[in-house]
Amino acid sequence: MRMIRKQIVFLLLITLVFVNIPQKVDASIGVSAASAVLIEQESGRILFEKEAHTKRRIASITKIMTAILAIESGKLDRTVTVSDRAVRAEGSSVYLKPGQKIKLEDLVYGLMLRSGNDTAVAIAEYVGGSVEGFAYLMNQKAKEIGMVNTHFANPHGLDDHENHYSTAYDMALLTRYAMENKTYQKISGTKVHRAPNPNEAWDYKWNNKNRLLNLYKYCTGGKTGFTKRAKRTLVTTATKGDMDLIAVTLNAPDDWNDHISMYEYGFQQYDMAEVLSTGKLDLEKNKYYKKNPLYIKKSILYPATSKEMGLITVKYKLYKPEKNWKVTRKSERVAGKAIVYLDGRAVQDTPIFYQNNPEKKKGFFNFMKDIFLSIMGVKLNG
């Protein structure tokens, strides 16, 4: 009997120990990746992370930066002459020839779908003047986006430089930025692209290496990567309903399943809460802008769990108008901002606008028109 009591006490103690162990957030997601992150496109909110800010080699997901810089150059319809240096690029290739002429747009398709290192060098030389010059542009753009733990040394991600690295979070920031561009969205999500091939009787036909476009019905695009030192890297995007997600994994042996697991977690646990709708704001205690309405141009959507929905609040901060506002005709001004809080922490904001419409002074014609309409109104009404 004593033995049974001791066993029961022991089991109770063990149970209490496990109950009081702090549970890690998102423990339900098991990913193979050394670093991983899942963010929501609209707000940039991190929904899941694992060593997301650790610097690592990134391999060919580097080419997301190469692609967006090529697109933003405004030269996609221009013809590029392929150099010897581009043809000699090691690793994956679309097999360009020295002196070959090809549209920059087709080079970007070859870059994103087939991960051509030759296309990366050709793009870099054309857009940046040289590979080194293009690397400078890459780092300038990274700084602009806020990729504070990133440094680019080449346009393709090969392990030919020691100071070429990023983090899962920084690559998510880059993808969030790139996905604001419609052309990038289209290219990233294209499954098959054909391009003229002047060297052969047949055209190029490039199938996208991103298998998640076929494996997961909500996938909308992305970029694969692999080198011996970086191992498997992957960036993908997915959309379900009104929620757009971005997933990044670095050094992930089972990256396809990692991404599906993260997406399923994000779509199941979070909903997009419409915190503020586009249009007029009816704000009480508004001493500055009483005559004309205040409004916002863009609605605020924020991803939240069912438990968080009741923790979302909005505060409004209005600026005091400048003296010259009254004399400016039909002048739209930023009057302040609406700030969204989640459990007391500011998470997002949007500008509040004010339209100043001063009364027009009536000319002689309008004055006589008003008198005429007044007289006619008297006659018609009695």
Q: For residue range 31-70, list pLDDT tens digits in order.
A: 999 999 999 999 999 999 999 999 999 999 999 999 999 9
Do 125 and 90 belong to one domain? yes
- Supply the DSSP string of 129-193, one letter for each residue: SSHHHHHHHHHHHHHHHT-TT-B-SSSS--TT-TT-BB-HHHHHHHHHHHTTSHHHHHHHT-SEE
Please tell me the predicted confidence (pLDDT) of residue 40.
Answer: 98
Q: How far apart are CA 315 and CA 297, in angstroms?
A: 17
Question: What tokens does 34 get?
Answer: 């050394």
The angle subtended at Cα 178 by Cα 338 and Cα 222, nearest 5°, is 125
Average pLDDT for 154-183: 97
Q: Calculate mean pLDDT across residues 130-153.
A: 98
Give the distance, in angstroms, between the CA of residue 231 and the centroid of all CA atoms in the same chain.
24
Q: Which of 269, 287, 320 is the last residue of a domain?
A: 269
Residue 364 lies in a domain: no
pLDDT, position 335: 84
Residues 238 and 281 in one domain: no
The structure tokens 């007044």 sit at 374
Please report whether residue 28 resides in a domain: no
Q: Are residues 215 and 312 in the same domain?
A: no
Q: Is 280 annotated as a binding residue?
A: no
Task: Give a yes or no: residue 30 inside a domain.
Answer: no
> What is the reported pLDDT for 248?
98
pLDDT exceeds cutoff 80 at 110 = yes
**226 plus 349 within the same structural domain:** no
Residue 366: predicted pLDDT: 61
Is the pLDDT at 358 greater than 70? The verdict is: no
293 and 247, same structural domain? no
Domain check: are 97 and 234 in the same one?
yes
Grouping H, G, I as helix, E, B as strand and the rest as coil, residue 46 is strand
Q: Are 248 and 168 in contact (CB under 8 A)?
A: yes
Instruction: Judge if 260 and 279 occupy the same domain.
Output: no
Domain count across the chain: 2
Quick one: pLDDT band at residue 369, thresholds 50, 70, 90? low
CA 180 to chain CA mean position, Å: 6
Q: For 243-270, give the DSSP string.
A: EEEEEEEES-TTHHHHHHHHHHHHHHH-
Q: 319-325: long-range contacts at Cβ-Cβ below 8 A with a sequence spacing of 24 or more? A: 319/288, 320/288, 321/288, 321/289, 321/354, 325/356
Q: What is the overall mean pLDDT for the chain?
A: 87
- Domain edge (last residue) among 210, 245, 269: 269
For residue 165, is it within any domain? yes
Q: What pTM did the predictor assign?
A: 0.83
- 345 residue type, one letter: R
**Is 69 part of a structural domain of the chain?**
yes
Does residue 145 carry a pLDDT above 90? yes
Q: Is residue 12's pLDDT more than 70?
A: no
Measure the CA–CA gap between 58 and 352, rounded to whole angstroms.
Answer: 40
Span 313-345, pLDDT tens digits: 999 888 877 665 554 555 678 888 999 999 999
CA distances from 109 to 134, 179, 223, 345 (A): 18, 16, 11, 42
Q: Is residue 8 part of a domain?
A: no
pLDDT at 130 over 50: yes
Q: Which residues contact 18 (CB under 8 A, 6 or more apart)?
A: none
Are 237 and 96 found together in one domain?
yes
* pLDDT at position 7: 46
Q: Report the pLDDT value the prediction gives residue 294, as an integer from 0 to 100.
A: 87
Residue showing tokens 């970007």? 108
Q: Based on the domain organization, do 228 and 321 belong to the same domain? A: no
Residue 362 has pLDDT above 80, yes or no: no
Place 24 in a pLDDT band, splitting at 50, 70 and 90: very low
Q: How far apart are CA 378 and CA 382, in angstroms?
A: 6
pLDDT value for 37: 98
Residue 21 lies in a domain: no
Can you tell me which residue has the tokens 């909500």? Answer: 218
**Range list of H helices, 240-357:** 255-269
pLDDT, residue 148, reads 98
Measured between alpha carbons, how far is 320 from 166 in angstroms, rounded to an integer? 43
Q: Where in the sequence numbering do the catalytic residues fall?
A: 60, 63, 115
Check residue 21 and give its pLDDT.
Answer: 31
- pLDDT of 308 over the 50 cut: yes
275 versus 6: the higher-pLDDT residue is 275
Same domain, 166 and 50: yes
**Going by DSSP bridges, is the β-strand pair 271-276/331-342 parallel, antiparallel, or unpaired?**
unpaired
- Residue 261 shares a structural domain with residue 123: yes
**Residue 46 pLDDT:** 98
Q: What is the CATH number of the domain that holds 158?
A: 3.40.710.10
Contacts of 45 (CB under 8 A, 6+ apart): 39, 302, 303, 347
Is the residue at 242 inside a domain? yes
Residues 243 and 328 in one domain: no
Residue 311: give its domain's CATH number: 2.30.140.30
For 51-64, b where at least 16 C-beta lie within 10 A, e where not — what string? Answer: bbeeebbbbbbbbb
C-alpha 366, offset from chain centre: 53
Q: What are phi and psi of 19, to 5 degrees?
A: -65, -35
Q: Provide the pLDDT for residue 203.
A: 93
User: What is the extent of the structural domain holding 88?
Assistant: 35-269
**Tokens (6 digits) for 377:** 């109104």
What confidence tens digit (pLDDT) does each residue in 230-268 have?
A: 999 999 999 999 999 999 999 999 999 999 999 999 999
In this predicted model, what pLDDT tens digit does every residue of 184-236 receive, in sequence order? 999 999 999 999 998 888 899 999 999 999 999 999 999 999 999 999 999 99
Provide the pLDDT for residue 29: 81
